[in-house]
Structure formats: C-alpha cells, structure tokens
Structure 1
Amino acid sequence: MDMSEQNKFDSIIFDLDGTLWDSTGNVAVAWQNAINQVDYVDEVMTQEKVRSITGMAYNVIFDTLFPYLDAAKRNELMAICAKSELEILHTRGGELYPALDETLGYLAGRYRLFIVSNCQNGYIEVFLKLSGMAHYFSGHQCYGTKGNPKAENIKDIVNDYQLKTPVYIGDTMGDYNSATKAGVPFIFANYGFGVVENGQIATISSFGDLVKML
C-alpha cells in the first residue's frame, strides 16, 4: 500500500476467525461433542476440517460438511453444534494472534474499529469477553443476527455508523468478495486460513504489521 493511503480511512472493519484469533481447535472439540450426541453422523471432526470451512456462513458450513443429511437432521445438528461451540469457547476460547492487544490499542486511537463475521449469535461476544478487548470496538455484526451474507452485514455497519471511508481486513477469498460487494477496500491477512492472490490494496503477514501500515 502506498504511504498516501495511510490517512485515507476513518474506520477499520475486521473479520474474526483467521484475522483476530484462531479458535478452530476448540471448535473441532465442540462439534465432535455434538456429533457424539446424534446417531446419524459417523465421522471424526478435526481442526483441519474446521479450518477448511472457516469464513463461510454458518448454515453453508453444515451444508458443506454434511451434504448427505436431510434438511431436518442438518438443522438439528447445526443447533447442537452451535450450543456446544459456545459452551466450549466460553471456557477455552481461542488463540489470540500475536501483538493483538497493543495493535488494537494503537489503531483504536486513530480509527473506529468494528467486527463483521459469518459466525452465529454470541460468538463475537465470547471473543470480546475472553480477550478483554471489547473497549476497542464501536460495534459488530454477524450472520446469526439476521441471516444475511457478510457483504450485507458490512453494509449495515457502514450505514448504521455512518462510516465514510472504511477498510475491511480478512483472511479468505470470501472476505475479499464480501468487502468488494459492499464497496469497501480490502486488506488481506495472509497468516490466516485462506488465499487471496490479487485485488487487495495491501497484504499483512502478521497483525502487528498494521501499526506501520495504518
């Protein structure tokens, strides 16, 4: 990113998984606990499987992982997984990326900060509580609130908070596509779970890179 871009933005909207923290190990444990409660799924949930679908809308995740289930069973399993996930994460949380606290502190002094994720209701709140970083953020939106895709949720944040020049930071092609559809420039976090080869205005290799960049 050109140095002239540094003062261009008034706000930053973050993806959560793969950008601010990695909870995939504990999510895999939670989903396995859920699978063990039903008699129509016989497979092992791994961290690799969870990482492969991270960033998808919550309902699309279960469509992708369990295409052989009918809608009723898939929805039942999704509800059990969601409950188990929040229970496990409330106690175990996820792995915060290095320099998260100090970098967010720096950015919060210069920009309004937000989170938009494709997660279920309650998930962002768990992150904010366990990380102790809720005070850095002005608001958040997720798939679970209205069932809307990420692009619409980004637009909601932009409109609700009257943002003029936001930038979105995420780690997957889905994040890039959502930001683009919302008309928001995109910074790619390449330490996360996905690959974005072009179209981003900048790429970071660690969260702390944002201090020099922004």
Structure 2
Amino acid sequence: MKTDSIIFDLDGTLWDAADTVAKAWKAAKKQVNFEIQDITPEDIRNVAGMQHDLIFKKLFPNLSEAQQKKLMEISGKEEMAHIRKYGGVLYPNLTETLQYLQPTYKLFIVSNCQDGYIEAFLEFNELHTFFPDFECSGRTGNPKNENIRAIIQRNQLQNPVYVGDTTGDQQAAEKAGVPFVYAKYGFGQLPKYEQHLDQFADLKKLF
C-alpha cells in the first residue's frame, strides 16, 4: 500500500529546542519558593517524548503534587515565552525536504508537548503551510497513540507513517497501527527498528 501521509514527532525529529527550554527552566527556578535542581539541555533531551505532565514526576519525584503542579504552570509559561522569542534549531535541510514531500504527501505533527508549543514552533519557523493539522497531549490529555489515531480519523488518512526518535514514539506508532520510521539523528537510542533516517533529508530517498 502506498504511503499517503507522514505524521511527525516534533522535538528530536523536526528541531532541537533543548537549549532554549533549559533557559526557560532557569527562569522558572527563580520564581518558585522551593528548591529544584538545575535542568540542563541534556536533561531536556532525555525526557523528550514523554507526556508533559509525566516529565515532572520523573525529574522532580521529591516534590509534592502541589509543588509539581505549580512548577509545571510557571515553567510552562516560561517555556512558551522563550520558544516564541528564541525558537530552536531546525534539523539540516528540513524546509527543502518538506517542500519536496508536500506535493505528494499530507504532512502532520503529533507531539507530547504542552498546548501551544506546536503553534509556537510553526510561527517561529514560518512553517504553517506544510502542516494543515496537528495534535498534542497538552491539549487533549491523551497519550500519543490516541492523538495519532485522531489525526488519521479526522483527515481520513489511508496509509500514514509516523516519524519519531524515541522508544515512546515507536510504541505509540505500533499501538496506533501505523508503520514507524526512526529518526536516528534525534534524541533517542532504539535497539530495534525497521526503517530509519540518518538525517532528515533521507526522507527524500525513503519516499
């Protein structure tokens, strides 16, 4: 069956905004009245792909639920402000590869980010025209596999693939019943996979 659409993860697949997000965490740390550790860009990359609310349980297990909630609120606002102002680093040849794919394939984004993050990504990089629809767990509260299915259903996709860089992405694609393409250049390390990209532009060879 010929692929008709490509659904992308965001962080670690389309761009790397870990440095900007780490700066946002530094700003958030100054606004809480409890101690938290410094968050580095590598910390950000290590939790990429997790649902936004679960990140706080992993990074700050010693904080109370109320403290985690407060930190999520403050860091979320700082993250959005920093992303809109400073953006991130697009992977090489991303725009020209999207231009190559768009005439043949419908393109979408499904991420476990907070609500508004995908919009900020599209605005900062002026990429709206490539992605007619997108979804995130921050808006729906649902896991990635259900958000992938939602994109498929409301856009009546017949043979989509999902491109991502983490084990969580791979598992979400499997649960959603769609083929997975591993972005090997991203943040994750997968032991087994069927198709992979060494760089984003390899999509032009694969499709």
TM-score by length of 2: 0.98
Among candidates 7, 18, 21, match of residue 24 of structure 1? 18
> For each residue in 1:103-144, what CA deviation from the matched residue of structure 2 results, as whole angstroms up to 9, or x when unmatched?
001111110000000000110001101111110112000011
What's 1:211 paired with?
204
What's 1:89 paired with?
83
Tell me which stretches of 4 or more aligned residues in structure 1 moved more than 3 Å: none
Distance 1:203 1:192 in 2: 11
Distance 1:78 1:102 in 2: 35
Q: Secondary structure at the match of 2:200?
A: coil
Are 2:50 and 1:56 equivalent residues in the alignment? Answer: yes
Identity %: 49
- Write the mapping of 1:165-184 to structure 2, written as runs, cut at 5 A: 165-184=159-178
Checking the alignment, whether the CA contact within 8 Å between 2:36 and 2:60 is kept in structure 1 is: no
Q: Secondary structure at the match of 1:75?
A: helix
Are 2:99 and 1:114 equivalent residues in the alignment? Answer: no
Over the residues paired in the alignment, what is the CA RMSD in angstroms?
0.9
Distance 1:50 1:133 in 2: 24
Distance 2:113 2:35 in 1: 23
Q: Secondary structure at the match of 1:192?
A: coil
Q: Secondary structure at the match of 1:141?
A: strand
Q: What displacement does 1:145 show?
A: 1.1
Structure 2 counterpart of 1:203, one-letter code: H
Checking the alignment, whether the CA contact within 8 Å between 1:185 and 1:201 is kept in structure 2 is: no
Are 2:67 and 1:73 equivalent residues in the alignment? Answer: yes
Distance 1:88 1:138 in 2: 25
Q: Secondary structure at the match of 1:61?
A: helix
Among candidates 134, 137, 140, match of residue 134 of structure 2? 140
Are 2:176 and 1:187 equivalent residues in the alignment? Answer: no
Gaps of 5+ in 2: none
Distance 1:130 1:108 in 2: 20
Distance 1:121 1:25 in 2: 20
Structure 1 counterpart of 2:206, one-letter code: M
Gaps of 5+ in 1: 1-6
